[in-house]
Amino acid sequence: MTIATTRPETDALPTGGVVHLLGEEVPAPAWLVRVGEETFLRSTTPHAVVDARGRGRVRVGATDRHVVLSEVAPEMHDLLDDAFRATYGRCRPDQVADMVSDDAAASTYRVRGRRPTVAERLGDLVVAWRARTTAPGRGVPGVRRGADACPCTP
């Protein structure tokens, strides 16, 4: 089966920033960086949520993007380490050190956008419908539909 990839989906990803790889378990935080025309993703959670065909989903803010994640040749790791340091150098040094470690390099992927399958589209519709029908604050005056409590407060 051929997976159709789309350039606009990849271009819609931020050139740098924290995203989440989505899968069966807890979303794994990941960092994005662009080198030339290619977008790369690295997570400190090795092989977090990539299926056998390399299909995955990336959450950017509140938007999920369907992507194809392909492994990167080891020769690229030094170049990508430099790109991650340049993009994220303002972050805490221990975070940057974790992201350019050998363990994190093992979970570096080239990211390409793709069209979701029919089953994935239906699943996305069900999730969106459930979020709308079970939104916190539904029917409560002064509370925006879908508004969540601040995650910073205990």
Q: Assign 3-class secondary structure to 89-102.
A: CCCCHHHHHHHCCH
Q: State the pTM of this model.
A: 0.65
Residue 143 has pLDDT above 50, yes or no: no
- Residue 118 gets which letter from DSSP? H
Residue 28, pLDDT score: 75
Please give the mean pLDDT across all residues of the chain.
Answer: 72
Q: Which residue has the higher pLDDT, 77 or 148?
A: 77
pLDDT at 18: 59
CATH assignment of 5-133?
2.30.110
* pLDDT (tens digit per residue) in 28-53: 778 888 888 888 988 877 555 566 67
Helices (H), 1-154: 7-11, 77-88, 93-99, 102-105, 118-133
Domain boundaries, the chain: 5-133
DSSP 144: -
